[in-house]
Chain A
Amino acid sequence: MLSFLLAAVALAPANAPAALGADTFTLKAAHLRLYGNKVVDGGVVKVEQGKVTYAGDAKGAGELGPDIIVHEGWASAGLVAARTWSGLGGEGLEPKRPFTAEARAADVVALGHADFARARSEGITTMVVALSPANVASGITTVVKTDGATTLARDGHLQLGLSSQALRTNRFPTSYTAAIELIEAELAKPTGVWERVRGGKLSVYLDALSRDEIQRAVALASEHRLTGALLRAPLAGELAGEIKKAGLAVVVGPFGPGEEARVLASVTALGRERVPVAFGLESPNSPEALLRVSAAMCMRAGLDPVQAWEGLTTTAAAVAGVGARVGKLAVGCDADIVLWSGDPLQLTSKVEGVFIGGVQHESKGGAGHGGAH
């Protein structure tokens, strides 16, 4: 059972700015997921002005400070969704024009959108807002936090569509060949977003569905030395070697309970080949809860639980380009912490509290909020 002992701060709804100093406290949790496979029992996290200054066992914690939150369940870094359509309000889709490379999700996303509140209630604190796969070049993703206020990276990745959904029969290009020629022609341009891509300053998201599309995407990335990740790419596991050689990651999911065994086996194969795997969403079209469900489905199909956890946190953060700030409980990282009723890798665990930048936010949908026991 949950019990809060709050010295000074009352549980206030989100969006109301917290009192000065509210982003400084110490958290004592029965179990602490730091990163990777590092779990500390009876761990302590010290937060000062929204940054983590200590995360580890109680012994090395030293002075705990006046504000102490004790949580009898688990605590971990907030989850990172490597792909979502949250906050776009249905925009971000421009199928009539194949090339909208300069379009920015950051210009469209509404940080205070209800989608993000829902994501928070599922323990997700960082999201990469991506665009429609129905264009050859959809635009530039953005990386935001679900606190309704923070943008981590205005420009995340250039999203390219190499699946049959990016092609049309009634507008140019209608063929894979022309789509790739177009991208290569753009890559040769001296200025603009493509120049940044060429120089490695901006990574790419390559959307591909069938195996031959994945093959073409990987070949494109290898030839032009693009960094980034494949999106969706079910059955990418059958090309794991080539993906590894190209140095790409894969953003998989979302997977539901009825997912094909072959697709889940593909994720396991990627994990075995040490291809970085991150989990993504298609919210609001599907529930945010699927992020953890995806990880659970993959674990059940044989994915290493450590890789599954990394796919929800550190790898996703690395793919998003914000691995230094979020995804793990470590000194110097943002204090994006989620309190769980149990191990977050278990689907039976619920969100019981969400801190973003050290400030607690409303996370309706979790178990106990309001009232101490």
Chain B
Amino acid sequence: MAAATLVATGESKDQTSWTISAGRVYTATGKVIEEGRVTVEDGKIRSVSKGGGGDLECYAITPGLIDLSVRIERDLSSIEQSREITPEKRIADALDWFDEAWKREARSGVTSVMINPLERQVVGGLSVVVKTAGESAQKRTVKADSALYGAIGSAPSQSNHPAFGRPDDFYSRRPTTRMGVEWEWRKAFFDAAMAREDKNLAGPGTLELQKALAGDLPLCIQAWTTQDIRTAVFLKEELAREGLGKLRLVVDAAAEAWKEPELLVRSATAAILPPFSATGRSDDGSFFALDTAKVLAERGVTIALSGHGARAASERLCYQPGHAMRGGLAFDAALAAVTINPARIAGIDKRVGSLEAGKDADLVLWSGPPFEATSAVIGVLVDGRLVLDPRTQNK
């Protein structure tokens, strides 16, 4: 039974220092502390050690969950559709900080999220990593320009149409097929590479594409089906072979990665997996096998799970590791897939992703073993501030 007893110390709503104890503290560093305690001071973790008591108690503590594909900004006004390749556009400029989805994610235990441009664009622009709660947009931004984001599949070509008769809008353009999408990708990178020598070939977005080619900016490509994952990996390998650049590739929504895991292994590509589906059938005609996480983890692929901002409580990120475990993934790997792995993929692991002294105080308090269907998230801290109070959870 969840224990949420309190030793009140007259805290206010802005309290950022706490002592929280639990039967089990899962640090995501490989260490699990039984009867452990986490002390938080001014929004940072001060210590993680054995001990009890404190302001809050619960069954288990994990680091705050990190969702790299949370899909909060889904409005069409957030992407510039007049061109298919817009690497310079920042999704951060189009965020709606008032969306209820932030609070929804925060109270489900998700503390850091990556917002990506919509997959309608071949290259949508620059993603941003933000905290789901906090005082201001600046304070909540964990990493600006965290990745260059785009898509391969049927989504980028769906709103375009061939020009029958007189075109009256700019959707009469390439790409209208997967071939066209791939062509746009290769052309964009090729032109950016050529622009290194000939400055006249540079245009808006060239800088970002060049950074991706240099490996300074991670490239995140959404690719559900195996043929699209293949295309993404071949793109990376082709550019490397031609000496144009070495991409740091991450595949988002890699539902069919179970079919050809070797592709991800040999190209050192990380994978973000979409939410598990009840029937296995998922978007873009893909089939998402339940053991995908296990298969990829066994082969050493860095995996992260994602929740896609589900509104229904049972489909959120906190339940995804449970599905992965049903598919055979070990608990430790499942924990890593929602904490330290996404932190490393997004390059924010110095600040978040595990319970270590000095890191941000993003914690999730559980009423039972984490990720179990019989457990609930009863407490959440973001930067040391209590976003969900275990003492007010009705029993």
In the complex they form, do A and B come into direct contact, defined as C-beta atoms under 8 angstroms apart? yes
Interface of A with B (CB < 8 Å)?
164, 167, 169-178, 180, 210-212, 215-216
Bound Cα distance A211, B97 (Å): 8
Task: Please measure, in the bound complex, the distance between the C-alpha atom of A164 and the C-alpha atom of B98, giving whole angstroms.
Answer: 15
B366 interfacial by beta-carbon distance below 8 Å: no
Residues on A with C-beta less than 8 A from B80 are 172-175, 177-178
Enumerate 28 A-B pairs (CB-CB under 8 Å) in ascending A order. A164-B75, A164-B77, A169-B76, A170-B168, A170-B169, A170-B171, A172-B82, A172-B170, A173-B80, A174-B81, A174-B82, A175-B78, A175-B80, A175-B81, A176-B77, A176-B78, A176-B94, A177-B80, A177-B94, A177-B125, A178-B82, A178-B89, A180-B93, A210-B96, A211-B97, A212-B96, A212-B98, A215-B97
Cβ–Cβ contact A175 & B77, under 8 A = yes
List the 6 closest A-B pairs by CB distance, nearest first: A172-B82, A170-B169, A212-B96, A175-B80, A178-B80, A174-B81
Is B90 positioned at the interface, with any CB of A under 8 Å from its CB? Answer: yes
Task: Provide the bound-state CA to CA distance between A212 and B93, in Å.
Answer: 10
Contact assessment for A210 and B98 in the assembled complex, using a CB-CB cutoff below 8 Å = yes
In the complex, how many angstroms separate the beta carbon of A162 from the nearest chain B beta carbon? Answer: 10
A175 and B95 alpha carbons, distance in the complex (Å) = 11
Give the residue of A175, A178, A212 whose beta carbon is less than 8 angstroms from that of B97: A212
CA distance A167 to B82 in the complex (A): 11
A177 to B95, CA, bound (A): 10
- Which of B78, B98, B168 lies at the interface centre, i.e. has the most chain A CB atoms within 10 A of its CB? B98
In the complex, the answer to whether A177 meets B93 with C-beta atoms within 8 Å is yes
Chief secondary structure at chain A's binding surface: loop
CB distance from A159 to the nearest CB of B (A): 19
- Helix, strand, loop or mixed for chain B's interface? loop
Residues on A with beta carbons closer than 8 Å to the beta carbon of B93: 176-177, 180, 216
Residues of B within 8 A of A211 (CB): 96-98
How far is B93's CA from A171's CA once the two chains are assembled, in angstroms? 20
Give A175 to B97 CA distance when docked, in angstroms: 16
Interface residues of B in 52-93 (CB under 8 A from A): 75-82, 89-90, 93
User: Are A212 and B82 touching (Cβ within 8 A)?
Assistant: no
Q: For residue A169, which residue of chain B has the nearest CB?
A: B76
CB contacts (< 8 Å) of B82 on chain A: these are 171-174, 178
For B82, the closest partner residue in chain A by CB is: A172
Report yes or no: B98 in contact with A175, Cβ–Cβ below 8 A.
no
Size bin of chain B's contact surface: 20 to 34
B125 to chain A, nearest CB (A): 8
Give the distance in Å from the alpha carbon of A172 to the alpha carbon of B83 in the complex: 9
Inside 8 A of A171's CB, which chain B residues have their CB? 82, 169-170
Q: Which residue of B lies closest to A212 (CB)?
A: B96
Considering the complex, give the chain A residue whose CB is closest to the CB of B81: A174
Q: Which A residues touch B169, using CB under 8 A?
A: 170-171
What chain A residues lie within 8 Å of B94 (beta carbons)? Answer: 175-177
Query: Is there an interface contact between B96 and A174, defined as CB atoms closer than 8 Å?
Result: no
B157 to chain A, nearest CB (A): 16
Chain B proximity of A307: nearest CB distance (Å): 26
With the chains together, A170 CA to B160 CA distance in Å? 11
What is the CA–CA distance of A177 and B94 in the complex, to the nearest angstrom? 6
Nearest chain B CB to A160's CB is how many angstroms away?
Answer: 16
By the criterion CB–CB under 8 Å, are B81 and A169 in contact?
yes
Q: Are B89 and A175 interface neighbours, CB within 8 A?
A: yes
Contacting residues of chain B (10-32) with chain A, CB-CB under 8 angstroms = none
A174 to B82, CA, bound (A): 7
Q: Which residue of B lies closest to A173 (CB)?
A: B80
A178 partner residues in chain B, CB cutoff 8 A: 80, 82, 89
CA distance A62 to B171 in the complex (A): 74
Within the complex, what minimum Cβ distance (angstroms) separates A215 from chain B?
7
The residues of A that contact B78 with a CB separation of less than 8 Å are 175-177
Q: Which B residues touch A210, using CB under 8 A?
A: 96, 98
Residue with the highest number of chain B CB atoms closer than 10 Å, among A167, A176, A211: A176
Residues of B136-185 at the interface with A, using a CB-CB cut-off of 8 Å, are: 168-171
B99: min CB distance to chain A, Å: 8
A176 to B79, CA, bound (A): 8
Q: Say how far A13's CB is from chain B's closest CB, in angstroms.
A: 50
Q: A170-B170, A171-B82 in contact; A177/B96 too (CB < 8 A)?
A: no
Minimum C-beta distance from A210 to chain B (A): 7
Chain A nearest CB, measured from B135 CB (Å): 13
CB nearest to A180 among chain B residues: B93
B-side contacts of A173, CB under 8 Å: 80, 82
**B168 CB contacts on chain A under 8 angstroms:** 170
Residues from chain A with Cβ under 8 Å of B97 in the complex: 211-212, 215
In whole angstroms, what is the CA distance A211 to B95 when docked? 11
Q: Which of A169, A177, A212 has the most chain B CB atoms closer than 10 A to its own CB?
A: A177
Q: Which residues of A contact B125 (CB under 8 A)?
A: 177
Do the beta carbons of A174 and B76 come within 8 Å of each other? yes
In the bound assembly, the distance between CA atoms of A212 and B168 in angstroms comes to 31
Residues of B within 8 A of A212 (CB): 95-98
A176 cross-chain contacts in B, Cβ below 8 A: 77-78, 93-94
Contacts of A215 in B (CB 8 A): 97
* Cα–Cα, bound, A257→B125 (Å): 44
Q: Which residues of the partner chain A approach B79 to less than 8 Å between Cβ atoms? A: 174-175
Interface centre among A164, A167, A173, A174 (most CB of B within 10 A): A174
Q: How far is the CA of A167 from the CA of B90 in the complex (A)?
A: 17
Among A164, A180, A212, A215: residue with most chain B CB under 10 A? A212
Tell me the complex Cα distance, A41–B82, Å.
63
**B125, closest chain A residue (CB):** A177
The smallest beta-carbon distance between A253 and chain B, in angstroms, is: 22
Closest Cβ of chain B: how far from A217's Cβ, in Å?
13
In the complex, what's the smallest C-beta–C-beta distance from A262 to chain B, in angstroms?
13
* Distance between B158 CB and nearest chain A CB, rounded to angstroms: 13
Report whether B90 and A177 are in contact in the complex, using a CB–CB cutoff of 8 Å.
Answer: yes
- Please measure, in the bound complex, the distance between the C-alpha atom of A215 and the C-alpha atom of B136, giving whole angstroms: 12
